[in-house]
Chain A
Amino acid sequence: MWQDALLNMAACSSAGRVLSLCRRFQNVLRISSATNIQRSAVNVTKYHCQLYRETSPLVSPFWSSPTSTASQCRGLHTTISRRGLEEFFDLPENWGEANVKSGAPWTAKQLRTKSNEDLHKLWYVLLKEKNMLLTLEQESKRQRLQMPSPERLRKVERSMFRLETVVTERETALRLLQTGQEKGRPGAWRRNLFGYIYWYRFKEYAIPWYMNKRYKRKTFYTPHFVQPHMRLRLEKHLRDKTRKANSEKQKLAKLKEKFPLMKVPAS
């Protein structure tokens, strides 16, 4: 069923490279079934990514993680990249080109279909791509030439941001199920010196709080003489709000006068 979906999607795509790409991924990557995030977090030593570079990592391939093979291995398996510092540069064919083609960035919807191991690997692929683009940008500034296709950098940044949101979503869900806590780092709602209430995030100390001189100097309460200032602040805020609302109404009234058949925008 997976293979059929794969082939259908490959047939629809423009390049036949995508099909070979999918096949290569299926052969090389043995991805275990979706596991606990904490347990699947692998020591970075084992990870050597980037098997090949014919297609940019931005071309979101239509491969989906196949079900685990007979070996049922937990660890990540990838080929070791034999090019060391060369990975900071693009393929030699693209040197000197005015435009380098690249695909669309990864969307959060696409990333949510991937397993944790896939996302982990993709992060490093995107990281290396971003490093390469940054070196290219700096060198182009140095040589006073235009960087070919600078939009690639923004695409990679967006993909990485979305990847991180997806991973944090999964982590919070897991944490809620396991512990009932939503946030990983403990905190509390506290009032600061100026009367603002904010989420104070706890910091890890080696000694308890009553022995911590620097912590005891912090004030998590508002002294009574700050109350008039808070009141004035509140009044200012309310005044600004009403003024803004009034100006909007006046604007609409004027427009209605000039254009009686105008439709009032719903906002």
Chain B
Amino acid sequence: MSLTTFSSFLLSYPLYQLGNPQLRLFRPNWFLTLVRPGKEQPPDTVQFRIPMEMTKCDVKSYLEKIYNVPVGVVRTRIQFGSNKKRNHLNQRVKQPDYKVAYVQLAQGQTFTFPDIFPEKDRTPTEGSMEEMQEKFMEDEKQRQKLDPRRGGVTEWFGL
């Protein structure tokens, strides 16, 4: 009996006994986050943050079937989120725990985490709000500047 609904807390997997059909999941409720590795990783390794309930086999089949990515080996670990920091009421604030998966790609593929926030020359469109704001800010800055004839000396000194 394969699973049809996928609410996380109402979920229970059917019991598996030898000879039962393969468990199949429809509309999985699991989301993977590709993260930039903190430590230097080999070129074929991709680092993901995965939900706690996922296993290595789950990650492998997820990537292979949904993303069509050839996966070799998956290794996982659970990162403990710190409980040390305290808030203004001196109560300990827990940062959530998360599972990290290191996926090694098969077929000699490599992956480098791209730069998603490149510097772009932003010229605001004519007559738009952004242009007016930029102009205003520039005028304000110009006003704050000291008199160039004073040669860098501040107003504090008289004359």
Contacts and interface: CB of A to CB of B under 8 A. Distances in A.
Are A and B genuine complex partners? yes
Contact of B12 (A95, A127, A138, A185): A185
Given A96-B120, A127-B31, A87 B65 contact: no
Main secondary structure of the interface of B (DSSP, over half): loop
Given A124-B66, A138-B35, A85 B14 contact: no
B4 A131 contact: no
B4 A184 contact: yes
Contacts of B142: none
Contacts of B119: 96
Given A44-B66, A127-B28, A203 B12 contact: yes
Nearest to A143: B117
A62 B15 CA distance: 42
Interface string B7-44: 10000101101000000111110011111100000000
Main secondary structure of the interface of A (DSSP, over half): helix
B2 interface: yes
What 7 pairs between A and B have smallest CB-CB spacing? A84-B69, A204-B15, A96-B120, A134-B33, A135-B34, A88-B34, A123-B27
A45 B66 CA distance: 8
Given A84-B67, A89-B114, A203-B12, A164 B7 contact: yes
A128 B65 CA distance: 12
B1 to A, nearest CB: 9
Nearest to A202: B12
A29 interface: no
A44 B6 CA distance: 15
A139 interface: yes
B118 interface: yes
B49 interface: yes
A204 B12 contact: yes
B148 to A, nearest CB: 34
A126 to B, nearest CB: 10
Interface range, B side: 35 or more
29 contacts: A37-B4, A44-B26, A81-B68, A84-B70, A84-B109, A85-B34, A85-B111, A88-B67, A95-B115, A124-B66, A127-B66, A128-B67, A130-B31, A131-B33, A131-B34, A134-B32, A138-B49, A139-B117, A140-B116, A140-B117, A142-B35, A142-B36, A143-B116, A163-B27, A167-B5, A168-B5, A201-B12, A206-B15, A206-B17
Interface in B98-139: 109, 111, 114-120, 122
B46 interface: yes
A128 B34 contact: no
Contacts of B35: 135, 138-139, 142
A135 B113 CA distance: 11
Nearest to A95: B116
Interface string A197-233: 0000101111000000000000000000000000000
Contacts of B111: 85
A164 B5 contact: yes
A38 to B, nearest CB: 8
A138 B117 CA distance: 12
A254 to B, nearest CB: 34
Interface in A73-98: 80-81, 84-85, 87-90, 95-98
B66 A47 contact: yes
Contacts of B4: 37-38, 41, 167, 171, 184
Contacts of A205: 15
Given A124-B27, A140-B116, A201-B12, 16 more contacts: A37-B4, A41-B24, A44-B66, A45-B65, A47-B65, A49-B66, A84-B70, A84-B109, A95-B115, A134-B33, A142-B36, A143-B117, A164-B7, A171-B4, A204-B15, A205-B15
